[in-house]
Structure 1
Amino acid sequence: MDVVDEMLRKGMLLSPEAAAVLRRKPELVSTLSVSGTVVTLGDVERPSVVWSAPQKNASSVSELAEFYAARFAFYRGLLEAKADRALLVSMSQAAGHGSRASIIGIVREVGQGFAVLEDGTKTLRVRTQEKLLEDECVLVTGTMDRDALVAETILFPDVPIGHAAKTSAKEARLVVCVDPVAANATVLITNASADSSRMNFAAGNSVVWPDGADGTRPVSPCLLNINGLFVLFHRISAADLQRIADAPVDKAAIRLLRSRHIDPRNTLPGDPLLLRDVPDIVVLDTGVAFSANYKGVTVVSPSRERAYEIDLRTREVKEFKAQA
């Protein structure tokens, strides 16, 4: 039974246009917020808040242990598919000078020419010149040298090869800019145009961040559904972003997509910035303007001087000078 038939069975009525979109994009069902029993195209394509994360980090020893165990389980599932099963072992089994092995582990320490990884059975030192990030997870293949693994290859969870850029079924634009009134707040607006001489927050535009289309006020981080595209919003300073990934802000953002985590140091319950599902667009509120594209994922960060318009139908990004 497809998703539309299931909704009809439950007594929901759908317009032909809404049914066509839901059959094409069944993932939208979980984001619907419908006041009546009839689902229209407007209900399907209305911007909505998919989730808005709590602001309290996991803090107790038991909470953190459970948190990192869940993160590792997700990463292990991704990385096992990339591993040579004949070489894949737990760290407690990786032994024997000169033997080859593959291990999957979360990075616990990074030093000059080495990193210490953990997989729940043991910690293991890995010799490598690769810049690894604390709390990310990697698949390492190499040769054992006494109590260390000399890395030959390191694979990351990463955005899948062939990940296609999703587009809106109809013409729509998303403007990402800094609010000219509250100058430190990033705002996401639909139905606005970068060609306007001044950003207009009045009728005709829909501010989807921070107001939320359903009357809620989401916090950062949050995931928004805008015309069927999933937009992840996260507020992080440029200095913190550079510190986490040891790179300029635009390259740091791409590096974190390879890790499938926008902020590995973050321990919010549920690990919302762990990219279990890859978003279509990532909006970072860093205060430094940049835009980038990585394997079908659009990343933008506006500043007081520069803003961006994303054509949701083509995924083309235009930069324009923000109005004072």
Structure 2
Amino acid sequence: MFPTHPTSAMLRTDWTLAEVTALYHQPVLQLVTQAAAVHQQHQTTGEVQVCTLLSVKTGGCPEDCAYCPQAARYHTGVSAHKLLPDAEVLAAARRAQEAGSTRFCMGAAWREIRDNRDFDRVLHMVEQVNGLGLEVCCTLGMLNEYQAERLKQAGLHAYNHNLDTSAEHYGEIITTRTYDDRLNTLEHVRKAGLSVCSGGIIGLGETDVDRVAMLHTLATLPAHPESVPVNALVPVAGTPLAEQPRVSVWEMLRMIATARILMPTTMVRLSAGRQEMPVTEQALCFLAGANSIFSGEKLLTTPNPGFDEDQQMFALLGLTARKSFKHAPEGATVLTSAAVEA
């Protein structure tokens, strides 16, 4: 007997840890079946948003995230570069849009945003990419409420700041900032009226208890994140986690399906790790409730399936691309390319 899934009137932020644990540990086919039912009720099945992530400032980060090839303290072969020229970023956004992306995310390897010329340049990039009609997302490290408001005014749609793992396991992965630092950033993002994008990475040496705890934290925030990326670790030589084994599809399915049941209206993003997943495994993830991918040859600095491969997969599985700003409030202003030229 499958447990009753939430209805539209039952979106919850009061999940108990015991409830999340019970959901997560169901037999995997039962879990996926339940998640598929929730997905069908709250989402347009067969519709997947295509996103592109560009590293606009790479390497040289002072933090010690054990998975990250951009940390300055690790020798990973990643070359550091300063902020890309605006024209290069805008050209990349246009190429992504022409290839079918409707969300464009810009990442900078900063510990936190500083109120300087580089931030002013990022704000201008946001204005320009927003002018193309794309959903613009940024991941720039920690920020304060004033900086979040400036990004919102520039036309930013969403801000990504992942929890990465559970509060209990966090200190094993990162020591240069706290879990509360991450939660505070999410609070600033929400207060500024930006869409919240926050998820995590599995394969960091955590246990199922840690995975459940991270999902519980996300599902019991004051409001569910509009976007939850589920990443599988891509081990990189030179980082402390270089020898971690590949995450299995069954582990990804448990995370995606549980996230879908807990947060029915959230975009669940099948993120890092897709390069190692055949189409059959990705299809299972879509069945379990994933409805977004990152497309393009790189995900910041790690390999990722290209646009052509993904178009072939969409054709094979009968998937359609989700439009930008699908649920924008009625009357909301969405800039057009004319705004870029003005």
TM-score, normalised to structure 2's length?
A: 0.24
More helix by share: 2
Higher relative contact order (CA 8 A, sep 6+): 2
More strand by share: 1
TM-score, normalised to structure 1's length?
A: 0.25
